[in-house]
Amino acid sequence: MKLNEFTIKEVVKGLEEKRFSSLDVTKDCLNSIKKQEKDLNAFITVTEELVLKQAKESDSRRAKGGTLSTLDGVPVAIKDNMAVKDFPTTAGSKILEDFVPSYDAFVVQKLKESGAVIIGKTNMDEFAMGSSTESSHFGSTKNPHDLERVPGGSSGGSAVAVAADEAICALGSDTGGSIRQPASFCGVVGFKPTYGAVSRNGLFAMASSLDQIGPITKTVEDAEILFENICDYDKKDSTSNEKGIETVGKNNGNIDLKNLKVGVLKDGFGDGVEDGVKKNVVETVERLKKEGAIVEEIDIEVLKYALAVYYVLMPVEVSSNLGRYDGIKYGYSVEKEKDIEIKNLLDVYSKSRTKGFGAEAKRRIILGAYASSAGYIDQYYLQAKKVAVKIRQEFDKIFENYDVIISPTAPTTAFKLGEKSDPLSMYLGDIFTVPANIAGLPSISIPCGKVDGLPVGLQITGQRWEDKKVLSIARAIEKVISGQE
């Protein structure tokens, strides 16, 4: 194996045993990027000189016996909606194509403090709006299992970087499944932590009440390692939950599959779910039964409203959050264009936003502005907030009787590029992932087989602040799937 094909754990062990250096691992990752990027387009920015400098600094620390953490020297890719100082950070949008932050996002700061090597910024759907990484201003990312298919989204670049061994691990963000769905499509592990467990400070907001940063890795154990390095209280983020984070830290998550109570979502085997996806999930469930797990089918009636709730709440928050991109403060402005006539300040606003945002961003801004307007806010937004509370309460009842809920991560395997030109058909792909965001729950996707060479993801969702428990259960199920149990 080449070093870029290693897991975090394998890289850490090799570095500790001095079998290779961080520079060796980083060079292998950079070589992999050079060989594959023409086909994959997983990265927006890779600054080789800066990357190699970080690796050399890590090796120097290790030579002096002063490593910063277990992640010291490990190459990590960062989704391009998280600020990295002196690295272009675009959120996949023309409106930020030349923006270079003067600060680090909290999670990036944590990674730098741990000595990780930031290898580059990954491609994504514009402002994280999409499920295919086709809406990026910088072109579509391709699935490494089939270059004619999407990698999922919006963290498609991060998922591909890990799946194609261009990075050892990566960070993504998840607003309605944007970590888990691309992880499913690319055959890697994607973990969305409890809302408030990881600071959103420095994340370019899409929908503030739903966004959460999390790891994309090759194994569940790696996901836990990366999660532990970014899960920390941040006083600069009002949604960072200090007591909840303390709860996560106290829960060691040691789980035995025997007598584990698992609720299998009935809708996971209904209409619209591909037969191959159902087959792989059913086979995994049967294996869990053989291991002694108590598995029961559950029907959460209120979940039929989850997708509708999400696509009201999210656009309203998008409309508000993207209001700051006005062609004045920073980012793209039509004032730079010589062939565009500007008569007044309103022209700067409207024409900058018209040219700066892509079609999907505009669609969601318009939907959100409409749903939150004076005549409709009670009818749409406030009703959606009420149903969101009901969904959260229903999950609380379910977790009184079950340890986790299992379902397919996505109803299909990766679809072809350009196949879903109708936005509604794209939105329906989020049906199993959005409920965890609405209720703020920890949820993970792990590979559970393939259909015609395309990966299938199994989603495991748990109660708030039981992140370690969910990770432990996922690790045990991962072993069962791989035949290690």
Q: What pLDDT is recorded for position 485?
A: 53
pLDDT in tens, 467-476: 999 999 999 9
Q: How far apart are CA 328 and CA 353, in angstroms?
A: 11
pLDDT in tens, 273-283: 999 999 999 99
Other Cβ atoms within 10 Å of 237 Cβ, number = 16
Active-site residue, selected from the candidate residues 21, 58, 131, 154: 154
In this prediction, residue 484 has a pLDDT band, given cuts at 50, 70 and 90, of: low
Tokens of 57: 């600094």
pLDDT above 90 for 182: yes
Rounded-to-5 percentages of helix, strand, coil across the chain: 45, 15, 40
What sign does the CA torsion over 316, 199, 109, 158 have? negative
Strand order from edge to edge, sheet including 261-265 = 43-45, 117-122, 75-79, 169-174, 212-217, 189-192, 443-451, 454-461, 404-408, 261-265, 294-298
Residue 367: partners with Cβ closer than 8 Å, 6 or more residues away: 311, 315, 319
Other Cβ atoms within 10 Å of 444 Cβ, number = 35
Written as one letter, the residue type at 337 is E
Q: How far apart are CA 349 and CA 318, in angstroms?
A: 17
Written as one letter, the residue type at 478 is E
pLDDT in tens, 62-117: 999 989 999 999 999 999 999 999 889 999 999 999 999 999 999 999 999 999 99
What does pLDDT average to over the chain? 95
DSSP string, 284-324: HHHHHHHTT-EEEEE--GGGGGHHHHHHHHHHHHHHHHGGG
Average pLDDT over residues 452-473: 97
The secondary structure of residue 92, as a DSSP letter, is T
Q: Is 79 a catalytic residue?
A: yes
pLDDT in tens, 73-85: 999 999 999 999 9
pLDDT above 70 for 445: yes
Q: How far apart are CA 103 and CA 109, in angstroms?
A: 9
pLDDT in tens, 284-299: 999 999 999 999 999 9
Residue 294: partners with Cβ closer than 8 Å, 6 or more residues away: 259, 260, 261, 262
DSSP string, 221-273: HHHHHHHHHH----TT-TT--HHHHHHHHH------STT-EEEEEGGGGSTTS
Tokens of 354: 């018209």
Q: CB-hemisphere CA count at 13 Å for 281?
A: 32
**Residue for token digits 């060691």?**
252
pLDDT in tens, 382-420: 999 999 999 999 999 999 999 999 999 999 999 999 999
pLDDT above 80 for 251: no
Spell out the domains of the chain, with CATH numbers in brackets: 3-250 (3.90.1300.10)
Q: What pLDDT is recorded for position 250?
A: 81
Average pLDDT over residues 425-436: 94
Written as one letter, the residue type at 399 is F
Q: Is 178 a catalytic residue?
A: yes
Q: Is 58 a catalytic residue?
A: no
Give CB contacts under 8 A, 24+ apart, made by 385-393: 385/313, 387/302, 387/305, 387/308, 387/309, 388/309, 388/313, 388/438, 388/439, 390/302, 391/302, 391/303, 391/305, 391/306, 391/309, 391/435, 391/438, 391/439, 392/438, 392/439, 392/440
Active-site residue, selected from the candidate residues 27, 32, 79, 173: 79
Active-site residue, selected from the candidate residues 114, 178, 240, 407: 178
Average pLDDT over residues 149-175: 98
Other Cβ atoms within 10 Å of 278 Cβ, number = 17
Q: What pLDDT is recorded for position 114?
A: 97
Helix (H, G, I), strand (E, B) or coil at 121: strand
Q: What pLDDT is recorded for position 213?
A: 98
Tokens of 368: 């959100």
Q: Which residue has the higher pLDDT, 234 or 335?
A: 234
Q: How far apart are CA 251 and CA 30, in angstroms?
A: 37
Q: pTM here?
A: 0.97
Contact present, 478 and 470 (Cβ < 8 Å)? no
Q: Cα-flanking dihedrals φ and ψ of residue 460, to 5°?
A: -125, 120
Q: What percent of the chain has pLDDT over 70?
A: 100
Residue 231: partners with Cβ closer than 8 Å, 6 or more residues away: 193, 197, 198, 245, 248, 249, 467
DSSP strand pairing (75-79 vs 454-461): unpaired
Helix (H, G, I), strand (E, B) or coil at 79: strand
